Amino acid sequence: MSWNGHGKMLQISPDQSQFLGVIQGILYIESSEGELDEAFVECTVIQLLKLESQEGDAQGNCVLVQDPDNTAFAEHSCRGFAGSCKGTFTITGGTGQFEGAAGQSPLIVRSPMNVLIQPGIDVEDMVINNGVLLLTDLQVTRPGGN
């Protein structure tokens, strides 16, 4: 998924900053049978970053909208450095055909955030374009089907 995001970056201690924001994009899904499908995705992001080392942790929640009647919900968390984070994406349920859905995938997030962070500077409206979110092995189950 290619994504764009926006939010705020606040220095919350002498050695840490926190990003509070939202990312959104279109997730393209290709099944093992070759079918290509898509969903609009919007995720909240809360990321803590150590200013000197640029190490950080991020977490948040996502909504994946296939159409107004079929929506999946998910949680994400990852650890890494500003601009690169690896972790887990977990489907937690949904509506319509995704009611009762569950699933998980390893998650990789890449962004140009590392060049946007400046120690000692708060950014009220940080805009991040052209990030990438990869779900390398998303397996989802639904009651009554896959």
What would the pLDDT profile of 7-45 be if each residue is shown by its tens digit? Answer: 998 889 998 989 999 999 999 877 655 455 788 999 999
The pLDDT value given to residue 127: 82
The pLDDT value given to residue 120: 57
- Rounded Cα–Cα distance for residues 2 and 24 (Å): 8
Q: Taking Cα atoms as reference points, which of 105, 99, 92, 98 lies closest to residue 139?
A: 105
Q: 135 versus 112: which is more confidently predicted? A: 135
What's the pLDDT tens digit per position in 67-119? Answer: 889 999 999 999 998 889 999 999 999 999 899 999 999 999 998 765 556 55
Residue 111 in tokens: 């962004």
pTM across the whole model: 0.87
Residue 9 in tokens: 């970056």
For residue 71, give Cα distances in angstroms to 31, 74, 95, 142. 18, 10, 5, 13
Q: Which residues lie below 8 Å from residue 137, measured CB to CB, with a gap of 6+? A: 105, 106
The pLDDT value given to residue 119: 58
